[in-house]
Amino acid sequence: REPLTRSVDVIDAAEQSQEWRDTGGSAEGEDKAEQSNQEGLTNSILHLKGQMMYMNEWDSIMFLGTPIMSSLDDMFKIGLYINDLSMHDSSRDLVLAGTQQSAELKLALDQEQEKSRLLEQSMIKLDQEMQRTDALLYQMIPKPVADR
């Protein structure tokens, strides 16, 4: 007979917050746990992608999977490092490429912000020079004539 196979898209394995456990799972504790998650304290959540197979020989279900990570920071938050990923797993390359792209985008954003700051300074200087030019013009020619 064929082993049963089932493809699993995502499995979330998360630890409950300590605050929730201390309150015995009361509604107040659930609110605190939810608030903690909303505040960014979700560093104990591990998303896995893989496949489950029933193994007749073991009379058990086997799960073979890999973590889903979008950045090195996400990996560090849950205690994983690049060396923990399989050498042949494409997610290793994706995480590194995403980190490189993120660094390049941050550099480009910083450069654009600096250009914007310099442009604003140039516009202020231009306005000052135009006011000075108008003042000199009005000293030489009457204002109604100069405005024409």
Within a domain: 82: no
pLDDT given for residue 15 in this prediction: 44
pLDDT given for residue 126 in this prediction: 97
Q: Are residues 64 and 112 in the same domain?
A: no
Q: Are residues 14 and 51 in the same domain?
A: yes
Q: Are residues 63 and 96 in the same domain?
A: no
Q: Are residues 46 and 98 in the same domain?
A: no
Average pLDDT value for the chain: 76
pLDDT given for residue 22 in this prediction: 44
pLDDT given for residue 3 in this prediction: 54
What residue has token string 């020079």? 129
Q: Are residues 51 and 104 in the same domain?
A: no
pLDDT at residue 58 tops 80: yes
Query: How far is Cα of residue 5 from the mean position of the Cα atoms in its chain?
Result: 34
- Pairwise pLDDT comparison (68 vs 30), residue with the higher score: 68
pLDDT given for residue 4 in this prediction: 56
- The rounded distance, in Å, linking the Cα atoms of 42 and 23 is 19
Q: Are residues 93 and 147 in the same domain?
A: yes
**What's the mean pLDDT in 92-120?**
91
Q: Which of 4-8, 47-51, 121-125 has the highest mean pLDDT?
A: 121-125
Q: Are residues 112 and 141 in the same domain?
A: yes
Question: Cβ distance 47 to 12 under 8 Å?
Answer: yes
Q: Is the C-alpha dihedral spanning 134, 138, 144, 148 positive or negative?
A: negative
Within a domain: 75: no
List the domain range (segments joined by +) for residue 99: 89-148
Q: Are residues 147 and 94 in the same domain?
A: yes
Within a domain: 61: yes
Q: How many domains does the chain have?
A: 2
Q: Are residues 95 and 138 in the same domain?
A: yes
pLDDT given for residue 24 in this prediction: 46
pLDDT at residue 26 tops 60: no
Within a domain: 83: no
Q: Are residues 100 and 139 in the same domain?
A: yes
Summarised one tens digit per residue, pLDDT across range 64-92 is 888 887 788 888 888 888 888 877 877 78
Under the banding of pLDDT at 50, 70 and 90, the label for residue 27 is very low
Within a domain: 19: yes
**What's the mean pLDDT in 35-44?**
50
Within a domain: 73: no
